[in-house]
Amino acid sequence: MDKRRLSTGLAKYLINPPARMLAGRRLWPFHALLETRGRRSGRRRRVPVGNGLDGEVLWIVAEHGRRAGYVRNLEADPRVRVRVGGRWRDGVARVLPDDDPRERQRRIGHGFNTLVVRAMGTDLLTVRVDLDE
């Protein structure tokens, strides 16, 4: 089994279910909850992501790049919602292939999340979400 399939399985069945419940809440500042629209189904999809909130911008480093389902979803429909700091906010997401994801992680500064993403990641990619006011 390759690294991407293993880490995706661990995330889907072990890590994401409890993280999805905690993400975006005031008492759990490490993760945000990203909501995209399924590119085929049109259904809402929610995934916990690292909380890289910087003012009106949420920075995300996708551990599997364009192979991540949520990245493919937001490329098909860039309108997203994010739960961060206990409230939902609308925004527009875009992939930044020319941004250095390791430098972005350093700037975000969440040490444990950075370690996990780097250890499990196969193709790091920066995503910028510009949040509506």
Contact (Cβ atoms closer than 8 angstroms) between residue 90 and residue 80: yes
pLDDT at residue 30, as a whole number = 73
pLDDT at residue 46, as a whole number = 93
Please state the pTM of the whole predicted model. Answer: 0.81
Tens digit of each residue's pLDDT (9 = 90 or more) over 89-115: 999 999 999 999 989 988 887 666 766
Contact (Cβ atoms closer than 8 angstroms) between residue 61 and residue 101: yes
pLDDT at residue 106, as a whole number = 86
pLDDT at residue 33, as a whole number = 93
pLDDT at residue 20, as a whole number = 57
Give domain limits for the chain.
Answer: 3-131
- Whose tokens are 């999809």? That residue is 45
Residue spans of beta strands (DSSP E) within 38-103: 44-50, 52-54, 57-62, 79-84, 87-96
**Amino acid sitting at position 8:** T
Low-confidence ranges of the chain (pLDDT < 50): none
Q: Which CATH architecture has domain 3-131?
A: Roll (2.30)
